[in-house]
Amino acid sequence: MMFEEDMMKTLDMESLQALVPLHGVLLSKDVVDNWETIESFQARSDDVVIATYPKAGTTWASEIIDMIYADGDHEKCRRDYIFNRVPYLEFRVPGMPTGIDQLNGTPSPRLVKTHLPIHLMPNSFWEKKAKVIYVARNAKDVAVSYFFFHQNVSALPDPGPWDKFLDNYMKGNVGYGSWYDHVKGWWEKRHDYKILYLFYEDMKEEPKREIRKMLDFLGKNMSDDALNKIVYHTSFDFMKTNDKVNYKSLPKEVIDQSTIPFMRKGIAGDWKNHFTVTQNEEFDGDYKRKMSGTDLHFRTVI
């Protein structure tokens, strides 16, 4: 899949940016218009799904898992851009192949990216007993990263000022809905299906340990040398310079990185540079209410 600048200029950006509710979750209008096709998607038993709420380490996890399937050979992972190696299930932009078109043309084993909450996942994934690796990131850092991402990507609605975006985020009035519902939904079903639930902060703290969890879950064996290569080649500093994963191959009409890079910081705790004291207090109170009754816990710094 390639993005053509001329094609992007002809798109109805107002329609592309529109969010509409589906089963209680705000999604892109183009995704909802294609929902019947997404819902009836045919999974395969050896599919591996990388599921996240947006800006929770999706590209990072995708590159790690692709390197696992390449036995740690980084050159094999340079065969194509990350958005072609790991197609985005619900992707749909008029005039371009959909994520499902890409996946249907991908040989097994397929790596599948999605941001869907668990209750919207096509049933075939569970029927085929496909494996899912879910990565969760703390709510505050996701809010900051998602805000900047909205400024980058033309297909996303204008986020407005930070305080307005944060309010919408806390209410779940953003693409893919409530962060709270998303992370809790996947957490509560982690024992019902083949789901490995990982935390972004743990991956930052000790990537080798977390990659070993992925290897065990996927039934893969790997030498320490190959594992070390994965850690190195999927580090933030390396990926930021890797044209196959940093999205700099896309025209600015799709994602404008002239002022804010797609790979901005990649750390835990950047929220401290953006939340005011009042915002933090209000967020903490809201967080406590919405996360009460769950044994799911996050670290906001490491």
Answer yes or no: is 298 within a domain: no
pLDDT digits (tens, 9 = 90+) for 82-123: 788 999 999 887 777 899 999 999 999 999 999 999 999 999
What pLDDT, on the 0 to 100 scale, is given for residue 13?
54
Both tokens of 95, joined, read 């005039």
Residue from 115, 150, 182, 233 carrying the catalytic annotation: 115
Closest CA to 12 of 36, 25, 28: 28
Number of domains in the chain: 1
User: How big is the chain by its Cα radius of gyration, in Å?
Assistant: 18
Mean pLDDT, residues 57-86 taken together: 87
Give the pLDDT score at 45: 98
**Is 11 contained in some domain?**
yes
CATH code at 220?
Answer: 3.40.50.300
Annotated catalytic residue 23? no
Domain range for 172:
5-290
Percent of the chain with pLDDT over 70: 85
* Section 154-178 average pLDDT: 91
The token pair at 100 is 């499902």
| Nearest residue to 238 (alpha-carbon basis) of 78, 87, 111, 79 | 78
The 10s digit of each residue's pLDDT in 219-271 is: 999 999 999 999 988 987 777 766 677 554 554 455 555 555 555 566 789 89
